[in-house]
Structure 1
Amino acid sequence: MRAVVNKNRYKKVLLFFIMFVCMTLLLQKPIYADQDRSKDRSYVYTTDMEDVPIPDPYQFQRALTLMDRNGTKMANPIDMFVTEEEQIYVLDSDTGTIEIYDKELSPVKIIDKFFYEGQESPLKKPEGLFVTREGVIYIADTENNRIIASDQEGNISSVIKKPKNIVGSSIDQFLPVKLVVDSINRVSVIARNINMGFMQFDSNGSFMGYTGAPSVKLTAMDRIWRLFSSQAQRAQMSLFVPTEYNNLKIDEKGFLWGTISSISAKEAGKAATGDTSISPVKKINSTGKDVLKRNGILPPIGDFNFVHDPSGSPSKIIDVALGPGNVYSLLDSNDGKIFTYNGEGDLLYVFGRIGNCKGNFERPAAIDYLGNRLVVLDNALSQLVLFDLTDYGNKIMEATILYADGKYSLTYDKWKEVAESNTNFQHAFIGLGNAKMNEGKYREAMSYFEYSNDIGEYSEAKEMLRKEQARHVFPYVFIGLIGICLFFTIRSIVNKAKRYARGL
């Protein structure tokens, strides 16, 4: 009998232990999922800087390992360029070669030799390239201290070297790293040891000056120091301004897009709360002014996990891809994430990660659009990684393009489909509100903006509604005032006539 009691007691203890272990695992699992949730899924942010899950906007299609003529993996793929014909140019910094692929990632050509004035002129640690509509290849030949323009056969037609008339910076070497060329063959360049913005050269290779210099905010102590400094000391202070731009793109309208990866957590915190002078991406116009729109519920700075997590760090943005419908995507090298925004600065979606699964990255280096698709260059894996839009992502892209084209009624229908697919996506309701706003249906727009908690757009719609109501009321008020004036005028005339009649 005692043995039976002891056996039952052991069973109860064992059952209690099993239940304790299960409860412990159940309690731990949500915490683990919460800590890692942003890495395993696509998401967007709410106005409270909380990330919420969304359906995947892109899906992995394929990855291509880059090989040279001998079947050896490309040593150090450092930059990539996609032409209007959707050909992909990949630059290998170690070997100084360029490999060209078509839109399906099939090899087209390899340029592994360059010639200048009849002599072979190999590249030395080049870091950037750009291809014009005419097929001219511009290369930032970094350790050769030059920029070259070459045809498709490797024949160099022109060379830009260190300008003699550089002002505002004392440099020993000219180290160009990234470059773009506009429609009239002006070359804009990021140089590693230049801290005054983008260098610009005319079509003849003559140095024109700088543009887009990052603004520097001086502290009160800096201002006091400058008051008592000599001219030479003030000039020397400019040397301590860090080089901020790390990549450069140009859009079809000639705006220069520069990315910045040297933003600290403190600076990112200021940017998150509305300081527009700090940003990992800038859109520079012809006068050197940043005209990037930042009208979204949160600024386009990448992740916001560092705001709630003291151990977190801001995104390290290393490249920007310019897509259709004013869409642009930022590439984060810290976590391998891709942040996509519309032309107003609204976050559309976040996806991608560092990892070992298909579609993950090890060390992303560059990103570009291939039509509506995205292609990422992975430096560590020597791969091109291609992503296709999902049905959900395609709806967002279509709605964004329609809005950019001014087709607001069609935009509304598309955003409605997106909202029905994902009620967590605040921007879908902002999109619905914007569509109604541009149709002049301000009251309906206000309801969508209120639902999405977009105070700025709600206030604007409310102001437009007031103006519209005032316009409708004004004619009646005007007619009433005229009627009152006529009434008193006629009465005055009648009274005068009566007095005149009595006087007779």
Structure 2
Amino acid sequence: MVRKKWILFLAALLLLCSFGIESASAMVPYKTYFYDYDGEYLVSPDAYVPDKVLNAKAMGIEGAGLNQPLDLFVDNNNSVYIADTGSNRIIILDEQYRIKREITEFVHEDGVTKDQFNTPSGIFVSEEGLIYVADSKNARIVVLHQDGSVEKILEAPDSDVFPAGFIYEPSAIGVDPSGLIYVISKSTNMGVIALNADGGFEGFVGAEKVVPKVSDLFWKLVTTKEQKSRTAKSVPTEYNNITIDELGFAYVTSSAIHARNQYSALINRDKSSKHAPIKRLNNTGIDVLKRNGAFPPAGDIQTTDKVSRFIDVALAEDGAYSTLDSSQNKIFTYDDNGNLLYVFGGYGTQDGVFQSASALAYQSNNLLVLDKDSSKLTVFRRTEYGANIAAAIHHRKNRNYDESIAAWQRVLKMNPTLEMAYSGVAQSNMRKEEYKKAMHNYKLANDWDHYFKAFAEYRKEIVSKFIILIPIVAAAILWLVYRFFKYAKKVNTAGWRKPGKRTLWEELLYSFHVMFHPFDGFWDLKHEKRGSVRAAVIIVAAVMAVDIFKQLAGGYILYPSDWRVIELWDTLLSVLIPFGLWCCANWGLTTLMDGEGSLKDIFIASSYSLVPMVIITIPVTLFSNIVVLEEQQFITFFTTLALGWSLGLIFIGVLVTNDYSPFKNFYTSAISIVGMGFIAFLTVLFINILQNMNSFITTIINEITFRL
């Protein structure tokens, strides 16, 4: 019995310990997060968690530890290379992060001369195992074999294109599959230096073009040489790091972009390479990085005082990549289309955060991050959440769409707010020609560009099913419109011979005559009493109703959201208040300028002028539900036509009502618009004074009540 109790006690203790171990691994000192389409900060499950943090002793490095290590590289055999910059050496670790070799000195090709590194800042290892070291202060590239013997030493290149006083100080290096060597040199803003295998200069790659502002060109014309010499010059952005992918494309990062320009490009969703902190350059220097996410890959959106400063990029499988932000010690991971997958990391001394992260690299599924201040190497392990995201992207790349959808659905079970997952499912739906499902998932992802592409394909399916019925319905609608206008013309013609007061229906139908015959129509509105205030009020109310109808029934091309809140105040601000201000301002001004129209006449004429907005907006709103993005110009055209038609009728209506010449009517109308602003200003000022008076009187009453 006693033995059984001890067994149960030990089992409970082991279970408790196992729970403790699991919770400890899950308790990371940072929050993994992402941003949705609207730029909202959302916490997600951890994609990577710290597995181990290694100092020099844990790596088996004897003697002095690491000293300001600046670069990190993982070769095809998962061996790890560290540029221990402050100690002027290269450290080579095996797959388990134990030291294999330490290169502190080497012998020149003559077999006699010994040499050492001086601030080695960048490192690259080719598929053949050659180690390329950017020996910064020695102004050269040292190429070594795995045993530390020298293959070749590439001294500073020479070319006439280098400016006077050019200092060659290589800080990062990469080699493409063809053997072309790309070098980042400190303080060089002419682009990436391209060298051939022998170190000969091939040219600059990826230099950003500087387009001067018009104001700069003007000041250049009017300033003296002395003033020009004191003026700050616009120069291209300099790069700080480079990584070469398997196809030979160069990922370059920059931390020298003006903070305001970089942040403005980010929040304005700029998809161009201008002010971009990361680029993917082809062999001609053209940036081909995809920026198809909600925001371009430029780091944090909700930043208080610092923009993200990328200093390194690590390439994962299937086109995904992670960037290292030195301003916040955070890691941003994107897919090949530029969609933000997750962000993690931060400042601190705990495992998983950094004092000053300097480099990162992938080792299979692990992510390695080097901290130059703590001189430690952090190994991050991919979690189930991160593995499912990677699997979904991998299956989509390999056209295994069912597996990709299944992986994204597993991601959504862990994080239902990840819009990228819905977009991933939708992409697989598109490949499987499941366009209706793709539309649904793109909508959930707020990916409206791709939504309309799916909708275009879905519309083709529907049109093919009802190809015979569509022209019949269109012809029937056109016939009904024709019959209605014919009926309206008949009623309006009969109105010429009808004595006495007209019905409300006749007054409303007369608006169609005014639309197409404005000079006769407005003359009869005033002198023959073909319209009335009641009809004018109904027309204004119809314009307001159509504005609300447009918001409720408009297609996604007009309002890309299912969440539509109707605020009557918005309609009042956009329709009723401007219309009322116009009538008051124009009547007040024309009264002083020999106008013959009363406030009632101007109100009726202006109201009847709004009928095109009602007649055109209703079918345009319905039509917006079946158009795609490429056809948006039709919506814009008819919306502009309705507004322009109404404004033109208002101009003619005021002209006829006041019996003005066109020129006089033009400048009185312009002054009326200014008067609208003036009346609005006085109204707001008066309301503000009343509010202040009310507050003052309330304070006095409270003070008297308190003292009594």
How has the CA–CA distance of structure 1 residues 173 and 70 changed in structure 2, closer, same or farther, with 3 Å as cutoff?
A: same
String of CA shifts for 1:310-357, please: whole Å, max 9, x gaps.
x43211111100000111001111222111110011111111111122
Where does 1:232-243 land on structure 2 (aligned, <5 Å)? Answer: 241=235, 243=237
Show the counterpart of 1:222: 216
Show the counterpart of 2:269: 274
For the pair 1:141 / 2:131, whether they are aligned, the reply is no
**Aligned with residue 187 of structure 1, among 161, 181, 190:** 181
Show the counterpart of 2:521: none
1:69 Cα deviation (Å)? 5.1
| Local SS of the residue matching 2:183 | strand
Residues 325 and 405 in structure 1, CA contact (< 8 A), matched pair in contact too: no
Residue type of the alignment partner of 2:55: T
Where does 1:24-103 land on structure 2 (aligned, <5 Å)? Answer: 40-66=30-56, 70-103=62-95
1:89 Cα deviation (Å)? 0.3
Residues 326 and 404 in structure 1, CA contact (< 8 A), matched pair in contact too: no
| Local SS of the residue matching 1:433 | helix
Structure 2 distance, partners of 1:204, 1:125, is 22
Residues 257 and 284 in structure 1, CA contact (< 8 A), matched pair in contact too: yes
1:229 Cα deviation (Å)? 9.9
Residue type of the alignment partner of 1:389: R
How has the CA–CA distance of structure 1 residues 186 and 473 changed in structure 2, closer, same or farther, with 3 Å as cutoff?
A: farther
String of CA shifts for 1:431-475, please: whole Å, max 9, x gaps.
111110111111110111112222112122112323455567779
Show the counterpart of 1:410: 403
Structure 1 distance, partners of 2:400, 2:444, is 23
Show the counterpart of 2:280: 283
1:153 Cα deviation (Å)? 2.9
1:407 Cα deviation (Å)? 1.5
Residues 187 and 238 in structure 2, CA contact (< 8 A), matched pair in contact too: no
String of CA shifts for 1:219-252, please: whole Å, max 9, x gaps.
1123345678999x99999975155211100000
For the pair 1:443 / 2:436, whether they are aligned, the reply is yes
| Local SS of the residue matching 2:240 | strand
Q: Percent sequence identity over matched residues?
A: 34
For the pair 1:454 / 2:451, whether they are aligned, the reply is no
Structure 2 distance, partners of 1:90, 1:365, is 11
Structure 1 distance, partners of 2:399, 2:239, is 33
Residue type of the alignment partner of 1:287: T
Show the counterpart of 1:483: none
Structure 2 distance, partners of 1:473, 1:130, is 61
Residue type of the alignment partner of 1:384: L
| Local SS of the residue matching 1:401 | helix
Residue type of the alignment partner of 2:251: W
| Local SS of the residue matching 1:105 | coil
How has the CA–CA distance of structure 1 residues 434 and 225 changed in structure 2, closer, same or farther, with 3 Å as cutoff?
A: same
Residues 73 and 123 in structure 2, CA contact (< 8 A), matched pair in contact too: yes
Residues 114 and 121 in structure 1, CA contact (< 8 A), matched pair in contact too: yes
Deviates more, 1:41-50 or 1:268-277: 268-277
Structure 1 distance, partners of 2:167, 2:256, is 22
For the pair 1:300 / 2:297, whether they are aligned, the reply is yes
| Local SS of the residue matching 2:87 | coil
| Local SS of the residue matching 2:417 | coil
Residues 115 and 156 in structure 1, CA contact (< 8 A), matched pair in contact too: yes
Show the counterpart of 1:365: 358
1:172 Cα deviation (Å)? 4.0
Structure 2 distance, partners of 1:103, 1:229, is 62
How has the CA–CA distance of structure 1 residues 455 and 234 changed in structure 2, closer, same or farther, with 3 Å as cutoff?
A: farther
**Aligned with residue 377 of structure 1, among 350, 370, 395:** 370
How has the CA–CA distance of structure 1 residues 205 and 304 changed in structure 2, closer, same or farther, with 3 Å as cutoff?
A: same
| Local SS of the residue matching 1:430 | helix
Q: Can you give the 5+ residue segments of structure 2 that lack an aligned partner in the other structure?
A: 1-27, 471-708
Structure 2 distance, partners of 1:473, 1:187, is 60
Residue type of the alignment partner of 1:290: D
| Local SS of the residue matching 2:105 | coil
Show the counterpart of 1:431: 424
Structure 2 distance, partners of 1:104, 1:421, is 31
| Local SS of the residue matching 1:436 | helix
Higher relative CO (CA 8 A, sep ≥ 6), structure 1 or 2? 1
Deviates more, 1:370-379 or 1:449-458: 449-458
String of CA shifts for 1:298-319, please: whole Å, max 9, x gaps.
111110013xxxx432111111
How has the CA–CA distance of structure 1 residues 152 and 259 changed in structure 2, closer, same or farther, with 3 Å as cutoff?
A: same
| Local SS of the residue matching 1:40 | coil
Residue type of the alignment partner of 1:365: S
| Local SS of the residue matching 1:377 | strand
Residue type of the alignment partner of 2:291: R
1:211 Cα deviation (Å)? 0.7
Structure 1 distance, partners of 2:173, 2:313, is 14
How has the CA–CA distance of structure 1 residues 265 and 235 changed in structure 2, closer, same or farther, with 3 Å as cutoff?
A: closer
String of CA shifts for 1:161-189, please: whole Å, max 9, x gaps.
23221415333421111110112211001
Structure 1 distance, partners of 2:286, 2:430, is 29
The aligned length equals: 436
1:430 Cα deviation (Å)? 1.0
Residue type of the alignment partner of 1:112: T
- Aligned-residue Cα RMSD (Å) equals 2.7
Structure 2 distance, partners of 1:266, 1:410, is 43
Residues 305 and 313 in structure 1, CA contact (< 8 A), matched pair in contact too: no
For the pair 1:317 / 2:310, whether they are aligned, the reply is yes
How has the CA–CA distance of structure 1 residues 69 and 329 changed in structure 2, closer, same or farther, with 3 Å as cutoff?
A: closer
Residues 70 and 358 in structure 2, CA contact (< 8 A), matched pair in contact too: yes
Structure 2 distance, partners of 1:106, 1:86, is 12
How has the CA–CA distance of structure 1 residues 46 and 419 changed in structure 2, closer, same or farther, with 3 Å as cutoff?
A: same
Deviates more, 1:77-86 or 1:264-273: 264-273
Residue type of the alignment partner of 2:101: K
Structure number with higher helix proportion? 2
Structure 2 distance, partners of 1:238, 1:472, is 65
How has the CA–CA distance of structure 1 residues 206 and 66 changed in structure 2, closer, same or farther, with 3 Å as cutoff?
A: same
Structure 1 distance, partners of 2:146, 2:323, is 30
Show the counterpart of 2:256: 262
For the pair 1:196 / 2:190, whether they are aligned, the reply is yes
Residue type of the alignment partner of 2:409: K
